[in-house]
A and B are shown apart, each in its own frame.
Chain A
Amino acid sequence: MINVSKLKKGIVIDHIEEGRGYYIFKELKLNEIKDPVVLMQNIPSRKMGKKDLIKIETDLDLDLNALGLINPNATINIVKNGELVRKFKLTLPKKVSGLLVCKNPRCITQSEYIPSIDFYLVDEDKKTYRCEYCDTYTTYMEK
């Protein structure tokens, strides 16, 4: 396995489903941040067979809510001063802001500009969310 130096500070997104790492990389716009970022793909994993992994050496806060929606099973490791300070599994966010688009063609959000629309989780299994304005259910579609 390629050895990437141990992270001093930042975030490790672990247990990403095989092949999803690049998609997460793009969704989180990691190409736009100035800090070092490593995307590793197809790493052997005892639990998952193969997995992807992303290391970001940064002080920035990432929108973990968005990540919870894109890949709810990933593990997040927060590293400070070379030590793991927090490790947790992501869950599907109860509320997402600015990430989903209402699919209801009659919704006001289709004709008025609203910078960040809130959606509220209604069905965890189907990843279904409710628009804060028209209450229509919208299901998150993986790209």
Chain B
Amino acid sequence: MLKGRNLIEPGDFSIQELDEIFRLADTIIAEQGRFIDICKGKLLASLFYEPSTRTRFSFESAMLRLGGQVIGFDNPSNSSVSKGETIGDTIRTVACYADIAVIRHPREGTAKLVSEFSNGMPIINAGDGGHEHPTQTLTDLLTIHYEKKRLSNLKIGVCGDLLFGRTIHSFVKTMNRYPDNQFVFISPKELQMPEHFLNLLPKNAYVETDDLANAISDLDILYMSRVQRERFVNEAEYMRLKDYYILTRKKLSLAKEDMIVMHPLPRVNEIAREVDSDPRAVYFEQARYGMYVRMALIAKLLGVLS
């Protein structure tokens, strides 16, 4: 039962529950007209303590497309937050008005904390600092579910900043819950997967390399990520590593015909613009899947279909 639950991290849901959400998303994609007013009379609170237009639009579009309505803020300096109210008090008040809340906050662990004060109102974590961003992971999984028709027995290349990439860690951790997935971690030495993260995976489930061209040929999925400037103290180091990998049409010609290229966006230089028109490039489609998976998630947490 997903009704009334929170989504703080992907591990909150079992594989069966995740599949339940993806199946509903499939139905929504196939029969959009059926869902246009299932959330009529429901209110979603969109609490963005730091701006993230992309994520906010995705959630708000999802709710509006289900016939629900949205209240919220994306600039906490205009709200009672700036008057020194604790976040627990804010959420208690919001729970009096809204049926479900989405929260984004720069501090890690905030979504978990507010879920302790929400009085049964479902909380969706829309990113808490470098910690978790579970609907990004759900978006990635729905993309694979839709494009590859399965979530298991895949060879998944993950390329770029593997050291600091929150999105990447969450993605790999969740894909590792499905059987027979193999990972190829492609990164420069300085940005390899942290050891404590590798310890979570079975030894035979992954290989590490710094050679994208060599690794690409037998992948089912290539997940690209950008090197984040804000993680570097040293600007020269950032400049050296940011263009370490660039996926070009030439490199992509070495890949399988049915491989898909994913990217959480925004990209910088790591995927050449010439790749955008390749049918294997699904990264712009991901945004659409992101909205559908959020529609399915909201419907499930509100229990409007049962």
Residues from chain B with Cβ under 8 Å of A137 in the complex: 196
A124 in contact (CB, < 8 A):
no
Contacts A108-B110, A108-B113, A110-B107 given; does A135 touch B131 at CB 8 Å = yes
Cβ-neighbour of B130 out of A106, A113, A114, A133 (below 8 A): A106
Contacts A134-B131, A135-B131 given; does A108 touch B109 at CB 8 Å = yes
Measured between alpha carbons, how far is A108 from B112 in the docked complex, in Å? 10
A75 in contact (CB, < 8 A):
no
Contacts A106-B130, A112-B113 given; does A136 touch B108 at CB 8 Å = yes
A5 in contact (CB, < 8 A):
no
A97 in contact (CB, < 8 A):
no
Contacting A at CB under 8 A, from B75-121, are 86-88, 105-110, 112-113
CB contacts between A and B, total, < 8 Å: 44
Measured between alpha carbons, how far is A109 from B112 in the docked complex, in Å? 11
Residues from chain B with Cβ under 8 Å of A108 in the complex: 87, 105, 107-110, 113, 128
Cβ-closest chain A residue relative to B131: A134
Measured between alpha carbons, how far is A101 from B114 in the docked complex, in Å? 19
Chain B CB within 10 Å, residue with most, of A108, A110, A133: A108
Cβ-closest chain A residue relative to B110: A108
Cβ-neighbour of B107 out of A106, A113, A132 (below 8 A): A106
A104 in contact (CB, < 8 A):
yes
Residues from chain A with Cβ under 8 Å of B108 in the complex: 104, 106-108, 133-136
Measured between alpha carbons, how far is A125 from B110 in the docked complex, in Å? 30
A131 in contact (CB, < 8 A):
yes
B112 near A106 (CB under 8 angstroms)? no
Contacting A at CB under 8 A, from B122-137, are 128-131
A111 in contact (CB, < 8 A):
yes
B10 → chain A closest CB, angstroms = 13
B88 near A132 (CB under 8 angstroms)? no
Residues from chain B with Cβ under 8 Å of A110 in the complex: 107
Give a binary string over A125-143; 1 marks a CB under 8 Å from any B CB, 0 the rest: 0000001111111000000
Measured between alpha carbons, how far is A133 from B111 in the docked complex, in Å? 8
Measured between alpha carbons, how far is A110 from B107 in the docked complex, in Å? 9
24 A/B residue pairs, CB under 8 Å, sorted by A: A106-B106, A106-B107, A106-B130, A107-B107, A107-B108, A108-B108, A108-B109, A108-B110, A111-B107, A112-B86, A112-B87, A112-B88, A112-B113, A113-B86, A114-B113, A131-B109, A132-B109, A133-B109, A133-B110, A133-B112, A134-B108, A134-B131, A135-B108, A137-B196
Which residues of B approach A to under 8 Å, CB–CB? 86-88, 105-110, 112-113, 128-131, 196
